[in-house]
Structure 1
Amino acid sequence: MGVGFVFYMFGTITKVMVEGQFRRLLGRRKLEKQLAALKDHYIICGYGRIGQIISREIAKKPLPLVIIEKSPDLIKTIEEQGHLFIEGDATQEDTLLKANIQKAKGLVATVSSDADNVYIILTARGLNPGLYIMARVVDEEAERNLLQAGANRVISPYHIGARKMAQVILRPAVTDFIEVAVHRGGMELQIEEIPVRAPSRVTEVPLKESGIRQELGLIIIAIQRASGEMLYNPPPDARIQVGDILIAMGDPQNLNKLEKMLGISTA
């Protein structure tokens, strides 16, 4: 009786272990397929406080993203939140390749070490020369190194946070307006940037004849030309050109209509 019970328990434990390993194997294969299918996605390197906020904002669009993190505790958090992830070191080429970096649209290097961010940027730039790379800087003296490594933009969270706090004190009404328009989802007002990728009925016609204001109730705050020139408060006779980026403000649903009008999928 005692021997039979021991064998029964051994068999049960073995079954649980095998089933657990099988589920993990299936989970890994599913994850690998999802990663291989990624295109025009964003790679977030580091899932600390800043990485979590960035990931949440990108996922809200929604846009595809994958997170690279090496902390087992943070990996559990990522799994619970349902994000695609790779457990590994973002400074390593193999890890970035697993994230399908050749087909990625952008990368954010937000680990807490400036030296590690330099390595991430150097490796990422070598694997995808056209990738848009943004980096967090801890020591502002390291900003030059990050730019020389290949970052398109370097951000100091401390500097931005301090400037915003100053603006709240000096211009509270303006700050509240920007907060509502840019950061709060589900509001009646939103500011969005919309690329003009192909000809449409609103291109190569004067802004006043495009119907953007009359039909959609949207305000074009600025137009960034393909050359990089920024046209602020464009005049009524300004023409929208292929390659422009429109900075538009208005109702979120009408912004989506403008995106569709310009051939951009909002799904």
Structure 2
Amino acid sequence: MVEKTRRNFYLALAFMAVLIALGTAGYMILERWSFLESLYMTIISITTTGFAEVRPLSQVGRIFTIVIIVVGVVTIAYIGGRGAQLIIESQLFRLRRMSKKLAKMHDHYIVCGFGRMGRFICEELRHAGVPFVVVETDPAKLEVLADQDFLFVPGDATLDDTLQKAGVERARGLVAVLPSDAENVFTTLSAKGLNPRLFVVSRAVEEQTESKLLKAGADRVVKPYELGGTRMAQLLLRPAVVDFIDIVARGKSVDLNLEEIRISPQSGLVGQTLAESPLRSQLNIMVVAIFRQDGQFIYNPRSSTKLQAGDKLIVIGEAANLARLTELC
């Protein structure tokens, strides 16, 4: 449908160009005017500008002008109509395409809010290659999302209906970075009510909001000022340590990544020790820590440590080897 409307729109533009050319040629032949005079007369006739005639017209010239005006006005109206239709159909097509993509998405992430922090989150998620959708209300920000080819849902993230459109029941995680703490609390409460298994990270600007977010169901609360202050202090005290963490956490400077990988009950690694598994011997992956399902934390596990179903491995290695490990888990 969009292609047909676009084709008709371009055909109308082509017809307008032909009309201008014919009008110009007509005045040159009928009135013996120069090219510039004929083009000028054609343009002011088609656009019904209302300027005076270049020169007095003959009887035939006036009839020709009437034809140019009528055909020109009809063509301009048609171009305007097709242009408006093209814009509307393009937007509807984009929304339908996004709806189809959203219907197929699962284990994705939802970013509520596309402010300064939300943009950084989206860039990190895109870099990580994971599926995500943005929920935003601001029309200007929605245009930016469309230009950057981000998947988005226009609407209020505090409403259940909007979150359901974003596929909250099938999502893996949600981050709430809306303009106010109150909105983040309501969004967290709504998201957890729709999907209790959802992992929710929420921002808190005010100190007293943290407890409210945790009560609302947030799994983690980030306080930007506290986090920023801590990071700056660490950069002063331990700059090399911070640089190393940035390198392995983001994997942008070298082919080295810090990842969290969960061992499923069906994995062949269950029951094997680290020495028996291919992690170190074949994949050259360093296991920094293991989080057990019972809450036990094992730092720098020994080679005799047995892997269990549900273990979360904190590992460092090359991207390709980490991808192979993910397949094994």
Tell me the equivalent position of 1:42: 109
What is the rounded CA distance, in whole Å, between the counterparts of 2:114 and 2:183 in structure 1? 14
**2:93 paired residue among 20, 26, 38:** 26
Amino acid at match of 2:165: K
2:241 matches 1:174: yes
Tell me the equivalent position of 1:141: 208
8 Å Cα contact 1:206-1:238 kept in structure 2: yes
Ranges of 4+ aligned residues in structure 1 off by more than 6 Å: none
Aligned residue for 2:283, secondary structure, equals: coil
TM-superposed deviation, 1:66: 0.5
Tell me the equivalent position of 1:265: none
**1:89 paired residue among 156, 170, 180:** 156
2:120 matches 1:53: yes
Aligned residue for 1:236, secondary structure, equals: coil
Q: Give TM-score, length-normalised by structure 2.
A: 0.77
Q: How does 1:206-245 map to 2 (within 5 A)?
A: 206-245=273-312
2:260 matches 1:193: yes
Amino acid at match of 1:134: V
2:145 matches 1:78: yes
TM-superposed deviation, 1:186: 5.6
Aligned residue for 1:135, secondary structure, equals: strand
RMSD of aligned Cα (Å): 1.4
Question: Kindly tell me: are residues 35 and 237 of structure 1, through their superposed partners in 2, closer, same or farther at Cα, counting changes over 3 Å?
Answer: same
TM-superposed deviation, 1:70: 0.8
Aligned residue for 1:258, secondary structure, equals: helix
Tell me the equivalent position of 1:64: 131
8 Å Cα contact 1:107-1:131 kept in structure 2: yes
**1:249 paired residue among 292, 304, 316:** 316
Relative contact order: is structure 1 or structure 2 higher (C-alpha 8 Å, sep ≥ 6)? 1
Tell me the equivalent position of 2:14: none
What is the rounded CA distance, in whole Å, between the counterparts of 1:138 and 1:233 in structure 2? 35
1:7-43 per-residue CA deviation (whole Å, 9 max, x = no partner) reads: 2211221122222222222222111111111111111
8 Å Cα contact 2:247-2:253 kept in structure 1: no
Aligned residue for 1:83, secondary structure, equals: coil
**2:196 paired residue among 129, 133, 136:** 129
What is the rounded CA distance, in whole Å, between the counterparts of 1:28 and 1:183 in structure 2? 32
1:72-107 per-residue CA deviation (whole Å, 9 max, x = no partner) reads: 111111111111101111111111111111111111
Question: Kindly tell me: are residues 186 and 257 of structure 1, through their superposed partners in 2, closer, same or farther at Cα, counting changes over 3 Å?
Answer: farther
Which ranges of structure 2 fall in alignment gaps of 5 or more residues? 1-66
Tell me the equivalent position of 1:4: 71
What is the rounded CA distance, in whole Å, between the counterparts of 1:119 and 1:44 in structure 2? 15
What is the rounded CA distance, in whole Å, between the counterparts of 1:23 and 1:40 in structure 2? 29
More helix by share: 2
8 Å Cα contact 1:112-1:138 kept in structure 2: no
Identity %: 39
Question: Kindly tell me: are residues 74 and 5 of structure 1, through their superposed partners in 2, closer, same or farther at Cα, counting changes over 3 Å?
Answer: same
1:156-188 per-residue CA deviation (whole Å, 9 max, x = no partner) reads: 111111111111111112112111111232613
Which ranges of structure 1 fall in alignment gaps of 5 or more residues? 263-267
What is the rounded CA distance, in whole Å, between the counterparts of 1:4 and 1:258 in structure 2? 69
Amino acid at match of 2:224: P
